[in-house]
Amino acid sequence: MNRNVYQLGAALASGIVFGFGLSLSGMLNPARVQGFLDVFGAWDPSLAFVLGGAVVVAFIGVQVMKRMRHPAFDDSFHVPTSRRIDAPLIIGSALFGLGWGIGGFCPGPAVASLSMGIPQTVLFVVAMLVGMTLHDRVWSRRT
């Protein structure tokens, strides 16, 4: 079989597991996410376990990756090489945090939440895509 078919299958399976995990953990509920981010108000610490679990899984995945010569369905790993903390990284992180706090979504849960048909989710995803497109068209020309 063609390697692209395996890549597509692996991506689809990963997306399904990721979406199921987001749904199971409550990350598709913006009110729950905003409750987690409201550390000085009615703080809901339950998502800290979700984030902690994600860090553990990612740590294990990176350790396994370091021992592999190449991924199963590609010739090389596509890992960022820059370790520089610069203004675009800080500004992007701040915008991500603001969007997460205001909307109660980050990109993965927002896309997964589209299946629920909530109009605010559609608005968030459209705004996110407009922002991504604007960034690609404006910022990428500068670098």
Domain ranges across the chain: 3-142
In 10 A of CB 33, how many CB atoms? Answer: 22
pLDDT over 70 percentage in the chain: 97
Assess contact for 44 and 134: CB atoms under 8 A.
Answer: no
Q: pTM of the full predicted structure?
A: 0.70
Is residue 143 pLDDT above 70, yes or no?
no
**Would you state the pLDDT for residue 22?**
85
Buried b (16+ CB within 10 A) or exposed e, 113-128: beeeeeeebeebbeeb
Is residue 3 pLDDT above 80, yes or no?
no
Q: How many Å apart are CA 122 and CA 120, to the nearest integer?
A: 5
Structure tokens at 142: 């500068």
Assess contact for 113 and 106: CB atoms under 8 A.
Answer: no
DSSP state of 128: H
**Would you state the pLDDT for residue 100?**
82
Is residue 66 pLDDT above 70, yes or no?
yes
SS3 for 47-114 is: HHHHHHHHHHHHHHHHHHHHHCCCCCCCCCCCCCCCCCCCHHHHHHHHHHHHHHHHHCCCHHHHHHHH
Q: pLDDT of 87-142, one tens digit each?
A: 988 998 998 888 888 888 888 888 888 888 878 889 889 988 998 898 888 876 76
Q: How confident is the model at residue 51 (pLDDT cuts 50, 70, 90)?
A: confident
Q: How confident is the model at residue 50 (pLDDT cuts 50, 70, 90)?
A: confident
